[in-house]
Chains A and B, each alone.
Chain A
């Protein structure tokens, strides 16, 4: 984990291992605790918890090399940046549709891959940006306004 401290903000990066279902959720739990310590509004924490968990699960499920989640907090906003060098998303528009998923049957049997990940994140975050290139990786940025 890296930590950096700017004048009024804080940045922490967590590594998420691909295919490691047993530790999946650890980064989101950590993020939740930090937001509680900073005193972010409970409703906002809930939205961030749900979306960071979805994002973390996406890294575990889809990116075999895993990826990184960076939490960037300032008094104005909480930004979550999710980066991986996984397979990428071929059709972002489709991926944003509720119920659309490319997860394997095996993953679905484990209760994941319902195709609600990105739609959930979009409804939770105040801003959501995705850029992705098939075969290269995906970057997802979510912004949550703090007040």
Chain B
């Protein structure tokens, strides 16, 4: 199967350093011919390499605004994390107005779909026997589970993500209102991260992609900022969002907000992909069985920490919390409550139509007996390697090199230390061979030594 990846290498900028290979949570990068190549079956599009690369050689390929041209009716789906990017005092309404001015015909607030998904999740937690459930909202975490924790796939909460729910809901509604076919209506997620960009192209739990494009927050940020800073922008209410989220829905943009929005007890929130790995490790060992639900996000700080955002995540995290708790967003009108009840009744929007399947990547061989043999060889190689995990061989650590060797993808002498040992042995042998001159040629040797001294002086 082909995997779509939004994270790419810009070869011309890559110096072949070891920063990204050592940071990658799935050991998905190898330096070959001086370039950090991504192994596509292992990459989960978390964006860690984009964040760490000192040469900006890892890039996220998202859609440009020209994609809007392909559709008659264009709808923006702003991620909750978009609102926190702008300076204090900027309201979500101002940002939504600016989206209309950017050329969108409608705006559907993903924070509203987050409100719906929270309500569904609350129900699922009550009904399920699986403990703990792990949120399906962060696509990098879902893929991490598929490739590195395949036996935890059944813990992923079986609920479609807010982004997709928002798209399905708004397409049906706009199609009804305008008479356009759903294929003529384009929905575009304003994304904080490469994980979501990839999820738009290749969703995990649904057969079909329900969102038509993903535009990065960093692309629209300067445009929206410019529009908002125009003096007349306040009065120009060009249009209103089809739905707007509550404060709790907006809170999904930061770590901890999702759990707060779902609201039941015995929850745990973890952010940062390496921290998520530790928690998943614990779940595999049977720990955390007393926990009902785990909000797990690949980025430190949650969505506001995504690599396609612009502002420092610790600043946006605070703004996001302020927006979420603003008095205006605490109460819902009767009309809003009724509409939410209607939207929640559309059951099929929320269920996976395709199971999320394991994609184990660690297996050394399909034949178990051979795999065992390879593992024994691997352990031997590991013992002989220096254990410095320097990365000079192009693999992230000594064990990963040993794995590559038994898979036939690398050689032990890719290790600079092993190579040096070999060169040393060869040199010693060479010296011995040079010294072992037959007695009959003894004079010739003396001559050579004299020649060498004369040339070097």
Is B362 engaged at the interface, CB distance under 8 Å to the other chain? yes
Interface residues on B, range: 20 to 34
| Nearest chain B residue, comparing its CB with the CB of A35 | B362
- Total residue contacts A-B, CB cutoff 8 A: 75
User: Is the beta-carbon distance between B379 and A38 smaller than 8 angstroms?
Assistant: no
Is B375 engaged at the interface, CB distance under 8 Å to the other chain? yes
**Nearest CB of A to B433, in Å:** 35
User: Is the beta-carbon distance between B362 and A10 smaller than 8 angstroms?
Assistant: no
User: Is the beta-carbon distance between A49 and B368 smaller than 8 angstroms?
Assistant: no
For the complex, give the distance between the alpha carbons of A28 and B286 in Å.
Answer: 11
Task: Tell me the interface secondary structure of chain B in the complex.
Answer: helix
- In the complex, which residues of chain B have a beta carbon less than 8 angstroms from the beta carbon of A32? 281, 284
Is B334 engaged at the interface, CB distance under 8 Å to the other chain? no
Is B66 engaged at the interface, CB distance under 8 Å to the other chain? no
Residues B136-160 near A (CB distance < 8 A): 150-151
- In the complex, which residues of chain A have a beta carbon less than 8 angstroms from the beta carbon of B362? 33, 36-37
For the complex, give the distance between the alpha carbons of A120 and B371 in Å.
Answer: 29
Q: Which of B286, B358, B373 contacts A49 (CB 8 A)?
A: B286
| Nearest chain A residue, comparing its CB with the CB of B286 | A50
Is B285 engaged at the interface, CB distance under 8 Å to the other chain? yes
Is A53 engaged at the interface, CB distance under 8 Å to the other chain? yes
User: Is the beta-carbon distance between A37 and B375 smaller than 8 angstroms?
Assistant: yes
User: Is the beta-carbon distance between B379 and A3 smaller than 8 angstroms?
Assistant: yes
Question: Which 8 pairs, one residue from A and one from B, show the smallest C-beta to C-beta distance?
Answer: A53-B285, A50-B286, A5-B376, A42-B151, A36-B362, A39-B363, A46-B151, A38-B371
A-binding residues in B (CB < 8 A)? 150-151, 281-282, 284-287, 358, 360, 362-366, 368-369, 371-373, 375-376, 378-380, 383, 403
B-binding residues in A (CB < 8 A)? 3, 5, 8-10, 12, 25, 28-29, 32-34, 36-40, 42-43, 45-46, 49-50, 53-54, 73-75, 120, 146
Question: With A3-B383, A10-B379 given, can you name 14 additional A-B contacts, CB distance below 8 Å?
Answer: A3-B380, A9-B372, A37-B363, A37-B364, A37-B403, A38-B372, A39-B366, A42-B150, A42-B151, A42-B358, A43-B151, A45-B151, A49-B285, A75-B372
